[in-house]
């Protein structure tokens, strides 16, 4: 079970605190067990800070606390604070990365199930699309998504297998495998009944909770070989 530690402190020397945290990262490289750290400043009190540190488990957090560098940096941190920092230990009972959930809804509900009405909910109206299979580098508008999905669904009965998703900032990267049966016209070729497969990565950028830009990279050549469109 993932574990979070909340560190609440007051300091008028945040620049020194920030340097100290960077120093701790350098000293514990390769041995620390913390996986994610976020520091927030109270909008109502500029000297009030809260740090949230994530660990794979409580036991990992205890091992991290046992590092001699952690103890030394903590003592220096206390000297920078106005009073003793407080700690709150939390077991994670729910962890939902909302942008990743939205991306999964695109692949499952829009692409595979064909719910095109959902496009306007998940994508901005000025969505920008970059696709290696298109001669034009960028196409604009949520209707592009509807047209692309409708075109692929008319040509193939397909499914996506999502292997990995990584979220950072306003972007989500998804590594996937596409597998489809050719049952309609595609690139001038009538239905063949052949099965094709491609691997690819899609990166979506978000604005205001909706997808505003996408980059598609995939092994189209594998599909063209399977359909006997190209022979290489």
Provide the CATH topology of domain 98-226.
Nuclear Transport Factor 2; Chain: A, (3.10.450)
Each residue's pLDDT tens digit, 198-227: 999 999 999 999 999 999 999 999 999 998
Return d(Cα 220, Cα 188) in angstroms, integer.
Answer: 15
Give the rounded distance of the alpha carbon of 100 from its chain centre.
6
Return d(Cα 65, Cα 84) in angstroms, integer.
Answer: 17
Average pLDDT, integer, range 91-107:
94
Return d(Cα 179, Cα 175) in angstroms, integer.
Answer: 14
Q: Do residues 18 and 54 make contact, with C-beta atoms less than 8 angstroms apart?
A: no
Q: pTM score, two decimals? A: 0.82
> CATH topology of 3-91 equal to that of 98-226?
no
Per domain, the residue ranges of the chain are: 3-91, 98-226
Provide the CATH topology of domain 3-91.
Alpha-Beta Plaits (3.30.70)
Return d(Cα 166, Cα 97) in angstroms, integer.
Answer: 10
Residues 6+ apart with CB under 8 A from 72: none
Return d(Cα 189, Cα 182) in angstroms, integer.
Answer: 10
Each residue's pLDDT tens digit, 4-57: 999 999 999 999 999 999 999 999 999 999 999 999 999 999 999 999 999 999
């Amino acid at each position: 079970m993932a574990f979070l530690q909340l560190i609440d402190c007051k300091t008028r020397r945040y620049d020194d605190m920030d340097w100290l945290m960077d120093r701790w990262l350098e000293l514990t490289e390769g041995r620390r067990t913390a996986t994610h750290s976020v520091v927030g400043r109270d909008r109502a009190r500029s000297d009030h800070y809260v740090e949230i540190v994530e660990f794979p488990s409580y036991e990992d957090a205890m091992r991290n606390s046992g590092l001699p560098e952690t103890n030394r940096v903590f003592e220096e941190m206390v000297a920078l604070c106005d009073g003793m920092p407080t700690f709150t230990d939390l077991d994670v009972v729910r962890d939902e990365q909302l942008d990743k959930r939205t991306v999964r809804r695109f692949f499952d509900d829009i692409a595979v199930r064909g719910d095109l009405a959902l496009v306007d909910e998940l994508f901005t109206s000025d969505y920008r699309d970059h696709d290696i299979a298109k001669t034009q580098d960028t196409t604009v508008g949520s209707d592009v998504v509807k047209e692309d999905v409708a075109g692929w669904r008319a040509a193939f009965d397909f499914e996506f297998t999502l292997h990995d998703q990584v979220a950072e900032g306003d972007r989500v990267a998804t590594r996937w495998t596409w597998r489809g049966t050719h049952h309609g016209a595609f690139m001038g070729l009538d239905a063949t009944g052949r099965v094709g497969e491609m691997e690819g990565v899609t990166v979506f950028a978000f604005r205001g909770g909706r997808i505003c830009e996408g980059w598609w990279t995939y092994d189209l050549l594998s599909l063209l070989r399977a359909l006997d469109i190209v022979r290489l």
